[in-house]
Amino acid sequence: MTCCEGWTSCNGISLLILLLLGVILNAIPLIVNLVEDQGFQNPISCFEWWFPGIIGAGVMVIPATTMSLAARKRACCNNKVGMFLSSLLNVLTVIGAVYCMLVSIQALEEGPLICNSQSNSTSSCEFSFKNLRDIHPESFNLQWFLSESCTTSTGSNNPTNNKVTASDWRSLNFESTEDKYKTIHFSVFLGLLLVGILELLFGLSQIVIGFLGCLCGVSKRRSRIV
């Protein structure tokens, strides 16, 4: 086994784990809504319905994962064409990972619906690249999560501007609907952001390794195996 084939095989296992993790994370708020009989009226947030983990970190990663795992079975990736295809299919992985990251970033910046909308309706959910361009590092402070309550001010679409202190961390009450939704929202989209970052790194590395395998060739010993 050459280093290209070895890394491709390892890449496939890593992408499979991240793929499953992304789908599970995306499904958590959807399942909570159904268990609490919320249906489509009171979602934890808008952004789980854009399926960043199911589509971006999940479906779009399947082709590259399948091709990379084939390296372990001495199948598709034991020739130059296979290595080239593994590289090409990882372009989809990169696109899906970037989509997952962008949705997660906007979700973390805006917070759950309970902090942004009195109606708690998906009609207020709008994901756009224009909104992402309006996000600045100085405004990305997660104040909706750190503050004691994000629903004290009515008629405003922004979290309260109260000063955040260390004691606010201890005020989380998981029996409170607001704190529960805030915690689930933060955990899910932070996890999806990390999944997207890792998938992006693995996808880019496989693009490079795939081209190297295509140029340098793979193990001749493997090519004799039927």
Instruction: Find out whether 190 and 108 touch, Cβ atoms under 8 Å.
Output: yes
Whole-angstrom distance, CA of residue 136 vs CA of residue 141: 10
> For residues 206-221, b (16+ Cβ closer than 10 Å) or e, as one string?
bbebbbbbbeeebbee
pLDDT recorded at residue 1: 46
In whole angstroms, what is the distance from residue 3 CA to residue 210 CA? 11
Determine what percent of the chain falls in helix, strand and coil, rounding each to the nearest 5: 65, 0, 35
Q: What is the pLDDT of residue 218?
A: 59
Task: Report pTM.
Answer: 0.78
CB contact at 8 A, 64 and 152: no
Question: Which pLDDT score is estimated for 219?
Answer: 55
Residue 153: predicted pLDDT:
47
Measure CA of the first residue to CA of the last residue in the chain; give whole Å. Answer: 15
According to DSSP, residue 40 is labeled T
Low-confidence ranges of the chain (pLDDT < 50): 1, 153-170, 221-226
Domain parsing of the chain, residue ranges: 3-122+131-223
So what's the pLDDT on residue 170? 40
Tokens of 19: 């793929």
Tokens of 96: 């899906």
Closest to 114 measured CA to CA, from 154, 70, 162: 154
